Amino acid sequence: MNTFNPYPIYNVVNKKCLNNGPVRGKWFELTPHEAGFTDLGLFINTSHVGSSNYDEGPEGKETERDMTQMQGLVGSVNTALSKMENMKKSLDGAEVPSCISGEEHLQLIDGGLMMNMPFPPFLGEKRDADLLIALDSGSSQTFETLTEARDYAKAMKKPFPEIDDRIFEEKDWPEDCYVFEGKEKEPTIVYIPLFNRHNCKDVEEVQAKMKEFSTFQLPLNQERIEFMLETAKANIRNNKDTLLMEIYKASRRRHKKM
């Protein structure tokens, strides 16, 4: 794979478990190398996705999925459900929830229906992340995805930094950057709302911008896309010193663990 590009982790949820199943059976991730259930720890080689023989790739050999194939596999909530051969064929003997094992196919839909920011793959021991930079631009209220991630982490017994509930008083007119510092196993989270009191003059403008650029206001034309991109860039520039400091602190924490 191209090591100059960020490592992509595509995220979806299992529809059957989302509607009626345990949390651990919901989140599903795909990378160029493996695909599987984040919290069950059950994965197969991504080259096997869509193949009828789980001992080899779709053409009889193991191949890495490229970006186009990965995007095609995941799709979005507005497209038809992505159906994959049931992984239970390769997971004999594993403890698999009935919302997975009892179905012939997996029906995978947009991960945003469970959590609009993909925290699950980065929490816990597998990737042991030191620092998460969360750029929130969804249609939900400020901090909502953060509290969803906290509740998820609690349910799955994964480390998550402490959040002072007093910040929720600022949800309608937030600052442009919040730092939730990890201590031991918890990652530090830098949370940056797209629209905030540094680029909006008051609460009303924040709410108007969030509505105008909501996830559900489709399609976004080039002008609107450029506006969102430039706004996000400005947020990063305005918080450059904070980001660099947290990166430095995270690297120091990692060094001490080695």
Angle between helices 222-238 and 240-257 (to 10 degrees): 70
Are the C-beta atoms of residues 160 and 123 closer than 8 Å to each other?
yes
Task: Specify the pLDDT at position 57.
Answer: 47
Cα–Cα distance measured from residue 10 to residue 148, given in angstroms and rounded to the nearest whole number? 19
pLDDT digits (tens, 9 = 90+) for 61-79: 455 555 555 555 555 444 4
Phi–psi pair at 239, nearest 5 degrees: -115, 25
DSSP 92: T
- Mean pLDDT across 204-217: 86
pLDDT of 54 > 50? The answer is no
Lowest mean pLDDT among 88-92, 104-108, 179-183, 198-202: 88-92
Are the C-beta atoms of residues 258 and 251 closer than 8 Å to each other?
no
Cα–Cα distance measured from residue 255 to residue 176, given in angstroms and rounded to the nearest whole number? 29
Task: Specify the pLDDT at position 8.
Answer: 84
The alpha carbon of residue 140 and the mean position of all alpha carbons in its chain are separated, in whole angstroms, by 15
Strand order in the sheet with 82-85: 42-45, 34-37, 27-30, 10-14, 105-110, 82-85
Task: Specify the pLDDT at position 87.
Answer: 54
- Mean pLDDT across 13-36: 89
